[in-house]
Every structure is written in structure tokens, then in C-alpha cells.
Amino acid sequence: MNNSVSANPPPSASTETADWHVPVLCTEAVGLLRPAPGRVFFDGTLGGGGHSRALLEAGARVVGLDRDRESLERAAGLLGSFGDRFCAVQGNFAEAAGLPAVRAAAPYDGALLDLGVSSHQLDTASRGFSFRHDGPLDMRMDPSSGSPASDLVNTGDEAGLVRIFREYGEEPQARRVARAIVAERERLPFMRTGQLAALIEKVLGRRGRIHPATRVFQALRIAVNDELGALRQALATLPALLRTGARLVVITFHSLEDRMVKSFFRLDSEQWLDRPEWPAPRLNPDWRFLDLTRKPVEAGQAETARNPRARSARLRAVEILGAHQEAAA
């Protein structure tokens, strides 16, 4: 279901906790987006509303989108005081370009994607994202649609599970884990995060601080939510919602996402293409971006000390070109 969400009264003080989701690289992202009164921005991953709040406090308008109804309603309540300068919409950012409420505010002066799961989702056992808290093996960003991770774990064939663990989790022991899962589920289907994490730890052993189930849980989450497919579609369609001079900022948390964003931005930021067999360089027909971050922006020591989850964050940004392309052509 993709629809606007009315701002509810803010949650009580007991539930309005700072750790619902701490916005990562907020100062850097907002600085690149350059919010100001009269400007309008699209936040494709509203989450706890931290990035949107910073944009709103600078006087801008914001359309915030999220797949998670719970996160969306809470953010709508917290940001409701900004009145009609804020609009919350439920949906997948991959489909943003087709949502009427999102299209109605276009063209935007900037857009932000803060990928991955929120702190609240990770820390809520009933959502099933983390092995640190035993809960149902779910992992869906939108619990009202799609199939939970338990379906994938209990019905996927061994070869399919190997591919998922290897491609999405970069797990070197993917085959051993998949084989053990297929054998164990004949005795008892996997329904709990703790059950799956315990099996993986038994198979791989535990050495160092990183839990051996980390890569497998990441892989399952990516597969269940089609995160890479959604990112690919969003990168292809979001620029059409942005005006010339607008900026697109993307924050990633693992190498698969970062490589995709880097490649997409880099390819369309090259004005000239050259090949050994060509007599001279040629103008890139896909040139439409000015790359603002040749090297990704990373969190500093102060931020990672406050929020350890920021350690893996990588921010990349581009500016949408228009007249520059026409002049060059």
C-alpha cells in the first residue's frame, strides 16, 4: 500500500528515545543538499526522521518516504509540527517516481537515500533482523507484504541459498552453511533468529568479536527485501524527479551497495569517453552528473564513538547537470 500518512501526536516521552534511529553523517548530507526556505527535498528513507528534521529546521519542505509503516507513523508524529512543509508517504523508494504524492512535489532540489535498516528495526526482536535478539525469522522492511526470511530458509534449495549467502553476504563458507541449513530443517524448520544463528555458530565456530552469522543475516535481509534491485531501480529513476542543480546523496552501509552507487555515479559523471580503438575521445551520451565525492565521505571519530553503526557508512553525492550538457554538445 502506497499512501500518505497523517501526522499523529508525538509519542510519549517514554517511547520518544534517541536511539530509535540516529541519523548517520547528518551534517555532511545536509551540507551537500543545501536546504533553505522555499526549497523542497525528497527523503526516500525517512526512518526515524533525523535527516528530514535537519532539512525542515533549515526552512525547507520535505516529502519523506518509507516502506515501514511503524517508522513512518512515528516520524510523521515527530515532524508534524512542521505543518504542510512535511509530507509522509508509505512506499518503496524504488517506486517513488510512480507515486502520485511524490510526483506532486517534483521537481526536487535534492534527494537522500540512507540505506539499510534503522537502529530501531535492528533492536526490535519481533522484526527478526538481528541475531542479537531472538525473535521470529522475518526481516521484512514492510511486514504487511512479501514473504519472511523463514520461507526462504525453509524452502530454498541448497544451490540457491549458496548463491544468496555468497553474492549478498560475501560469506566464504556459504556452501557449508547452506548444506547444514538444508539438513537441519528436515528435523525442525527454522522459525526463530536465535535458532538460525546458533546453527551457523555451530557450523563455523566463533573467533573474534564478529558473530559468524553476520554475513548470512545480511544476505537474507538483502534477498527478502530485494535491496539491491530496489537501489538499482531508484538510481535509474530518481534523477528524473530532480531539477537542474539538484543533488542526490546516497549513504550506504556495505560494499555491495557502495560499489553499485559508485559505479552508477562514476559512469554518468564522465564527460568524455575514450577507447584505444577510437581516433579521439567522444562525448558521453549519458553524461548528466557532476561527481561531488570522488572519494566517499566517512564518519569521523567523534561520530563513530557516539554511534558505532556509523563506522561502515559511506556517503556519495552527485549534482544534476542540465545547461552544462547542452553547452558542451
Is residue 207 included in any domain, yes or no? yes
Shared domain for 304 and 168, answered yes or no, is: no
For all residues of the chain together, what is the average pLDDT? Answer: 89
* Residue at which a domain ends, from 163, 196, 225: 225
From 181, 198, 225, the end of a domain falls on 225
Collect all residues with Cβ–Cβ distance below 8 Å to 81 and sequence separation of at least 6: none
Write out the DSSP string of 283-329: E-TT--EEES-SS-B---HHHHHH-GGGGG-EEEEEEE-SHHHHHH-
- Domain match, 180 and 309 both: no
**Gap between the Cα atoms of 69 and 66, Å rounded:** 7
Same-domain check for residues 100 and 132: no
**Residue 163 counted as domain residue:** yes
Instruction: Quick: pLDDT tens for 184-221.
Output: 999 999 999 999 999 999 999 988 888 999 999 999 99
Domain that holds residue 185: 126-225
Q: How confident is the model at residue 64 (pLDDT cuts 50, 70, 90)?
A: very high
Does 244 share its domain with 284? yes
Residue 120 forms part of a structural domain: no
Query: What CATH number is attached to the domain comprising 189?
Result: 1.10.150.170
Does some domain include residue 198? yes
Residue 7 has a pLDDT of: 43
Boundary residue ending a domain (160, 192, 225): 225
Is position 121 within any domain? no
pLDDT in tens, 270-309: 999 888 999 999 998 989 999 999 899 999 999 999 988 8
109 and 238 belong to one structural domain: yes
Instruction: Summarize pLDDT for 73-110 with one digit per residue, the tens.
Output: 888 889 999 999 999 999 999 999 999 999 999 999 99
**Secondary structure tally for the chain: helices H, strands E:** 14, 10
Please, which residues have CB within 8 angstroms of residue 243's CB and are 6 or more apart in sequence?
107, 108, 109, 320
User: What pLDDT was estimated at residue 17?
Assistant: 35
Average pLDDT of 317-328?
Answer: 68
Q: Of 83-97, 126-140, 192-206, 312-326, where does mean pLDDT reach its minimum?
A: 312-326
Q: Assess if residue 119 is contained within a domain.
A: no
142 and 165, same domain (yes or no): yes
pLDDT value of position 21: 62
Q: Identify whether residues 62 and 132 lie together within a single domain.
A: no
For residues 213-231, b (16+ Cβ closer than 10 Å) or e, as one string? bebbbbbbbbbbbebeebb
Whether 65 contacts 96, CB under 8 Å? yes
Task: Please give the tally of structural domains in the chain.
Answer: 2
Residues 219 and 240 in one domain: no
- What is the structure's pLDDT at 30? 97
Alpha helices in 112-192 (DSSP H): 119-123, 149-155, 158-169, 174-187
Percent over 70 (pLDDT), the chain = 90
18 shares its domain with 105: yes
Dihedrals φ, ψ of 130, to 5°? -120, 145
What is the pLDDT at residue 2?
A: 40
Q: Are residues 106 and 255 in the same domain?
A: yes
**pLDDT tens track for 147-182:** 999 999 999 999 999 999 999 999 999 999 999 999
Model confidence at 117, in pLDDT bands (50, 70, 90)?
A: confident
Mean pLDDT confidence for 31-48: 96
Residue 216 and residue 151 share a domain: yes
pLDDT on residue 210? 86
User: What pTM does this model have?
Assistant: 0.88
Sheet with 61-66: list strands edge to edge. Answer: 4-5, 86-90, 61-66, 40-43, 108-114, 242-252, 314-320, 289-291
Residues 54 and 41 sit within 8 Å (Cβ to Cβ): no
Residues 172, 311 within the same domain: no
List Cα–Cα distances, 202 to 166, 182, 220, 268, 274, in angstroms: 19, 15, 19, 46, 52
What does each C-alpha distance from 223 to 39, 201, 235 come to in angstroms?
Answer: 36, 21, 18
Give, to the nearest 10 degrees, the angle between helix 158-169 and helix 214-225.
Answer: 100
User: Per-residue pLDDT averaged across 141-146, rounded?
Assistant: 87
Q: What is the spatial distance between Cα 149 and Cα 136, in angstroms, rounded to a whole number? A: 9
Q: Residue 324 — very low, low, confident or very high, per pLDDT cuts 50/70/90?
A: very low
